[in-house]
Amino acid sequence: MHDGESRPVTAAGPTVRTELAGTRGLVALSGEIDHDVAPQLAAALDELIEGGAQGLVVDFTHLSFFDSACISALVRAHEAVSQRGGTIRLVNVDRFARRVLQIAGLLPLFEVEPADEPGTS
């Protein structure tokens, strides 16, 4: 993958879009990222890291569901990125996704930026 190139991992349904911008890997998730799609997410994260990403930003804006397989892929990516001194930032995380990460004890692993939700100011 070349700098600035963006591509979907899946053509329809849930998607994992990636982009490598310098040393920052950008990942946009949409739909349901479950045990069927998580291997594609893991492969995309690995590709970004192998391509030189020292930090990752994962956008949850259009994510409607994720399960333990998605979480596992993110944790493995965290381990690889942290070995390089980088971090993973999860952005646009709604309160439900944040709660799942909290229950799983994973909030300390990631920088988490909440989504702007209606009625919260």
With beta carbons less than 8 A apart as the criterion, state whether 79 and 47 touch. no
pLDDT bucket at 39, cuts 50 / 70 / 90: very high
pLDDT bucket at 120, cuts 50 / 70 / 90: very low
**Taking 80 as the threshold, does the pLDDT of residue 12 lie above it?**
no
CATH number, domain of 100, equals 3.30.750.24
* Residue 11, phi then psi, degrees to nearest 5: -80, -35
pLDDT bucket at 13, cuts 50 / 70 / 90: confident
Q: Is residue 17 part of a domain?
A: yes
Q: What is the pLDDT of residues 40-58, one digit of tens each?
A: 999 999 999 999 999 999 9
Which whole number is the average pLDDT over 72-98? 96
Encoded tokens for 51:
């391509």
Encoded tokens for 55:
């930090």
The pLDDT mean for the chain works out to 89
pTM: predicted TM-score of the whole model, two decimal places: 0.85
Q: DSSP for 8-55?
A: ESSSSSSEEEEEEETTEEEEEEEEEE-TTTHHHHHHHHHHHHHTT-SE
pLDDT of residue 4: 53
Residue 46 belongs to domain spanning: 6-114
* Extended beta strands in 34-110, E state: 55-66, 88-93
Q: How many domains would you assign to the chain? A: 1
